[in-house]
Amino acid sequence: MIQSGRAARRLTMRAIRPRRNPATVLLVAAWAGAAAVLWLWWDSTAVVRMDTAEWLIGAGRITGLLGGYLIALVVLQMARVPALERRVGSDRATRWHAMSGRYAISLVVAHVVLIVWGYSVQARTGLVEQTVTVVVDFPEMIEATIGTALLLLVGFVSAGAVRRRMRYETWYYLHLLTYLAVYLTFWHQLATGSEFVASATARTIWYVLYGTVGALLLWYRILAPVRLNLRHRMRVESVVDEAPGVVSVLITGRRLHRIGAEAGQFFRWRFLADGLRWSSNPYSLSAPPRPDLLRITVKAAGGHSGALGRLEPGTRVWAEGPYGAMTAGRRSRNKVLLIAGGAGITPLRALFETLPAAPGDLSLLYRAGSTEDLALWTELQEIAEARRAKLLYAVNGPDGARPEISTERLKEVFPDIDEHDVYLCGPPGLAEESYHALRAAGVPSRRIHHESFEM
């Protein structure tokens, strides 16, 4: 058993700083930025003429500016900036990224259509002829056309119906074309946007915006992971069977406790073995970090996770992280309930060991298909006994009947459930069922802590 006991709980206690949800602040900041972008258009527009061509061109300029601004936010949302990852959560940042990407592509398409249409009306030419003129004769337009096409390609493969039919690695590497598209369209904006041609201030603002986003992306997506892996030099120590289809991978390295990981967080792991080196997957820590050892516990649910059971000791490991906001710092009450389902036990097992709590104030409910599927159960029992915590499980009956996690049952087992913080991790069905039951039992949504990577 990998257990860190009181030392791990003392470290966790230092991280407990109940925080306000920063989403509102970030949304206000984003809208303020959009207002500043509109001011750039207004400041550079001497006269708004009341004719069709000018209206179309003006609308095209506005959508182009907003599209460029939103593209910068799209890149920022996936730069893995720790302040965003740990305060907002990786799942919410990912959803913001997807939503912002759809809006950005819509604005770019609107910009292209409106500008070409406006110039066509102004020059009294056809749309096709005007499109050719714009692409061939305007500065930086060939590059911008290629960039726009790449953005449309990325948007197409990211649509849910298409993405679900693609291998993750294929989608991921196509998604990287976004950076090339941003580079190509950025220079077009500076070369042809009247806001930037006429104003050094506007150009400076745009350079600062994109320069800051680019610097954060370079540091947190490239340089920080390189630094982490050169410093800690991780390798597979061993692979341990935990339950049918579930294995733990023990990873050794140097000064691993200085990575800064907390119970409840995850890394993106890349194992430098045949068939695995070109893909990275997110797996949570299933035990608190030790100076010489990290552990992940994985249920075979696909090619990557299924291959981990065959890893050889000594295999080099490349990790990026830690990520995630489902940590001790989210709690605001003395009493805590952890609800786990399937592979969701991994981050909650680490929290079960390290969350500071008085005897009787910490509980774990583990949902599984059968008692044989209760991975890490012996460890959980030992932790519960040592901490005088409550440990419960819910498994299917002999006839396959699935026990529900209902409001009534929760209130029966936890009469003061509305005074708890609840950490929830499991399959989407369990998460949705549990969330609605908890809300009906009187637990506010701000005290239900959950991260999901279903997109």
Predicted pLDDT at 3: 52
- The 3-state DSSP class for residue 379 equals helix
- The 3-state DSSP class for residue 68 equals helix
Residues 54 and 29: their CA atoms lie apart, in Å, by 31
The answer to whether domain 331-450 has CATH 3.30.420.40 is no
Give the pLDDT confidence of 195-213 residue by residue, as tens digits. Answer: 888 888 889 999 999 999 9
Task: Answer yes or no: is pLDDT of 268 > 60.
Answer: yes
- What Rg value do the Cα atoms of the chain yield, rounded? 26
Task: Answer yes or no: is pLDDT of 454 > 90.
Answer: no
Give the pLDDT confidence of 366-422 residue by residue, as tens digits. Answer: 998 888 889 899 999 999 999 999 999 988 887 777 888 899 999 999 999 999 999
Give the pLDDT confidence of 112-170 residue by residue, as tens digits. Answer: 999 999 999 998 899 999 999 988 888 888 989 999 999 999 989 888 788 888 877 78
Give the end-to-end CA distance of the chain in Å, rounded to a whole number. Answer: 34
Is the pTM higher than 0.85? no
Task: Answer yes or no: is pLDDT of 1 > 60.
Answer: no
326 within 8 A of 449, measured Cβ to Cβ? yes
Predicted pLDDT at 16: 43
Cβ burial 240-265 (10 Å sphere, 16+ → b, else e): eebbebbbbbbbbbeebbebebbbbb
Give the pLDDT confidence of 247-262 residue by residue, as tens digits. Answer: 999 999 999 988 989 9
Residues 31 and 22: their CA atoms lie apart, in Å, by 14
- CATH (one of 1.20.120, 2.40.480, 1.10.287, 2.60.40) for 18-227: 1.20.120
Give the β-pairing of 420-425 and 448-450.
parallel
CA nearest neighbour of 206 among 25, 65, 59 = 65
Residues 267 and 261: their CA atoms lie apart, in Å, by 9
3-state SS, 118-141, equals HHHHHHCCCHHHHHHHHHHHCCCH
Average per-residue pLDDT for the chain: 87
- Quote the tokens at residue 323: 């990520």
DSSP string over 146-201: HHHHHHHHHHHHHSHHHHTTS-HHHHHHHHTHHHHHHHHHHHHHHHH-HHHHS-HH
For a pLDDT cut of 90, what percent of the chain falls above it?
A: 52
The amino acid at 372:
E
DSSP string over 215-237: HHHHIIIIIHHHHHHHHH--EEE
Give the pLDDT confidence of 304-343 residue by residue, as tens digits. Answer: 777 898 999 999 999 998 998 888 888 889 999 999 998 8
In this prediction, residue 43 has a pLDDT band, given cuts at 50, 70 and 90, of confident
**Which ranges in the chain are annotated with CATH 3.40.50.80?**
331-450
Task: Answer yes or no: is pLDDT of 428 > 90.
Answer: no
Predicted pLDDT at 46: 73
- Quote the tokens at residue 302: 């696909």
Residues 81 and 88: their CA atoms lie apart, in Å, by 11
Residues 233-323: name the CATH superfamily. Answer: Translation factors (2.40.30.10)
**Which ranges in the chain are annotated with CATH 1.20.120?**
18-227
The amino acid at 342:
G
- Quote the tokens at residue 387: 């901490």
Residues 46 and 41: their CA atoms lie apart, in Å, by 10
Give the pLDDT confidence of 18-28 residue by residue, as tens digits. Answer: 445 567 788 88
Predicted pLDDT at 13: 44
- Quote the tokens at residue 443: 């637990």
Predicted pLDDT at 11: 44
**Which ranges in the chain are annotated with CATH 2.40.30.10?**
233-323
* DSSP-based helix, strand, coil % in the chain, nearest 5: 55, 15, 25
Predicted pLDDT at 4: 54
Task: Answer yes or no: is pLDDT of 106 > 70.
Answer: yes
Residues 346 and 285: their CA atoms lie apart, in Å, by 6
Give the pLDDT confidence of 270-294 residue by residue, as tens digits. Answer: 999 988 888 888 899 999 988 999 9
Please give the C-alpha separations between residue 273 and each of 240, 250, 301, 322, in angstroms, as whole numbers: 18, 16, 19, 22
Torsion sign, CA atoms 236, 239, 242, 246: positive
